[in-house]
C-alpha cells in the first residue's frame, strides 16, 4: 500500500474459474490448493475458486466442492463460485461458498450458446436461486454478472438499453449486485464510461464489478475508465488466463498483476503485495506447465521507484 493511498479497490481473482476452465490442461487439485495459499498470502481476499457445472462439460471443474472446502480455511477470504443454474447453486451452497455469481448474457445468442436459456429464463433462474439462498443460506451474496454487455461475437451489437433493462430486472429478481462483463473484448473506454454511468443511474450501489478482457489490448484502459465513473470492484486473472469457451475469439482476461500494479502506482490501495502476487505464478505454472501465461509487470519487473508497504 502506498503511503499516499486515499482510495481502495477490491481485486477479485477469477483465474481459478475463468482461467482454468478456458484451457485444455486440467490443474491437479493439490496445485489448486497451493494456488489458493499463494494468492491469500499475497493479500487477495476474494477468489472465484471454481464453477459448479457437470464434469462432462468442464472436467477442469470436477473437484469444485473440494476446492471450496479447502478455501474456507481462510476466515477473511470471500470464496466465490460461478453457478449457471439452480442445480449448480444448490451444490455451491451445500459446499459452503460465500458468494455465487451467475452469468446472465445481454446477448440472446450468447445466452443460448452459453447456458441454453433465454435472457428471460435466466432472470427467472436468478429469482429461483435467490429464493433457495434465502431458504438455506441467507448470508450468501448473489452476483448476477451481465456478460457480453459491450458486444457479442455471435450476435454483434448489443443494445445498451437492453443492458440497462437487464440490470434492473436482475436487481428486481433479488440479486445483491450486478456488474458488467466485456466477455468478448469489444469494449472501449468511452463505451465503458457511458454504460456504467447508465447502470449506476438505474440501480445505484447495486452496480458491481467490472470484468474486462484484454483481447484487443484495451483491458487496462477499460478498467481505469470504469474506476473513473465509480466502479470499485475489478475482476482479473493471474497470468491473464481465461476467456469464454462459448464466445469465439474471446481470449485474454486482464492480468491481475498488471491491474494491481496500476492501481498501487496511482496510490489506490488494493491490499495486495505485488511481489508476492508475482510469486503466485509459480504454483500456477507448475499446475498447468503446458499453458502460456502473460503479464507486463512480471516480465519487465517492478520499477525501482515503486514503493509498497503491504
Closest by CA position to 283, among listed 92, 57, 98, 20: 20
**Architecture in CATH of 7-300:** Alpha-Beta Barrel (3.20)
Q: Three-state SS for 208?
A: strand
Specify which residues 181 forms β-bridges with: 211
- Phi first, then psi, for residue 261 (nearest 5°) are -60, -45
**Cβ(81)–Cβ(92) under 8 Å?**
yes
| 184-225 pLDDT per residue, tens | 899 999 999 999 999 999 999 999 999 999 988 999 999 999
Classify burial at 137, counting beta carbons within 10 Å of its beta carbon; exposed 0-12, middle 13-18, buried 19 or more.
middle
Residue appearing with cell numbers 460465500: 98
Classify burial at 75, counting beta carbons within 10 Å of its beta carbon; exposed 0-12, middle 13-18, buried 19 or more.
exposed
Confidence of residue 116 (pLDDT cuts 50, 70, 90): confident
Spatial separation of the C-alpha atoms in residues 279 and 277, rounded to whole Å: 5
Check pLDDT > 70 for residue 2.
no
Arithmetic mean of pLDDT, 171-188: 96
- Indicate the domain borders of the chain: 7-300
Question: Which positions are catalytic?
Answer: 244
The H or E element that residue 158 is part of is: none
Strands 207-211, 178-181: pairing is parallel
Residue appearing with cell numbers 486482464: 254
| 66-109 pLDDT per residue, tens | 999 999 999 999 999 999 999 999 999 999 999 999 999 999 98
Q: Three-state SS for 250?
A: coil
The H or E element that residue 210 is part of is: strand 207-211
- Angle of helix 219-228 relative to helix 256-265, nearest 10 degrees, comes to 40
Amino acid at each position: 500500500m502506498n503511503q499516499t493511498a486515499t482510495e481502495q479497490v477490491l481485486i477479485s481473482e477469477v483465474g481459478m474459474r475463468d482461467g482454468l476452465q478456458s484451457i485444455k490442461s486440467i490443474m491437479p487439485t493439490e496445485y489448486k490448493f497451493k494456488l489458493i495459499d499463494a494468492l491469500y498470502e499475497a493479500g487477495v481476499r476474494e477468489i472465484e475458486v471454481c464453477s459448479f457445472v457437470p464434469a462432462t462439460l468442464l472436467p477442469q471443474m470436477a473437484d469444485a466442492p473440494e476446492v471450496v472446502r479447502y478455501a474456507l480455511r481462510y476466515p477473511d477470504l470471500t470464496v466465490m463460485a460461478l453457478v449457471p443454474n439452480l442445480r449448480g447453486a444448490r451444490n455451491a451452497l451445500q459446499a459452503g461458498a460465500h458468494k455465487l455469481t451467475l452469468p446472465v448474457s445481454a446477448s440472446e445468442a450468447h445466452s443460448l450458446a452459453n447456458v441454453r436459456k433465454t435472457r428471460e429464463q435466466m432472470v427467472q433462474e436468478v429469482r429461483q436461486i435467490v429464493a433457495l439462498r434465502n431458504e438455506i443460506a441467507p448470508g450468501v451474496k448473489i452476483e448476477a454478472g451481465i456478460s457480453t454487455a459491450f458486444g457479442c461475437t455471435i450476435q454483434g451489437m448489443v443494445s445498451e438499453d437492453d443492458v440497462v433493462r437487464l440490470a434492473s430486472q436482475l436487481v428486481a429478481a433479488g440479486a445483491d449486485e450486478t456488474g458488467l462483463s466485456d466477455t468478448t473484448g469489444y469494449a472501449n473506454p468511452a463505451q465503458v464510461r457511458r454504460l456504467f454511468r447508465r447502470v449506476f443511474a438505474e440501480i445505484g450501489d447495486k452496480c458491481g464489478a467490472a470484468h474486462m478482457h484484454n483481447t484487443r489490448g484495451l483491458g487496462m484502459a477499460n478498467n481505469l475508465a470504469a474506476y473513473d465513473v465509480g466502479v470499485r470492484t475489478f475482476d482479473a486473472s493471474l497470468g491473464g488466463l481465461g476467456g469464454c469457451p462459448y464466445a469465439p475469439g474471446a481470449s485474454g482476461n486482464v492480468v491481475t498483476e498488471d491491474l494491481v500494479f496500476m492501481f498501487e502506482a496511482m496510490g489506490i490501495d488494493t491490499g495486495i503485495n505485488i511481489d508476492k502476487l508475482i510469486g503466485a505464478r509459480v504454483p500456477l505454472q507448475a499446475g498447468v506447465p503446458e499453458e502460456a501465461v502473460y503479464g507486463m509487470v512480471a516480465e519487465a519487473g517492478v520499477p525501482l521507484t515503486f514503493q509498497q508497504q503491504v
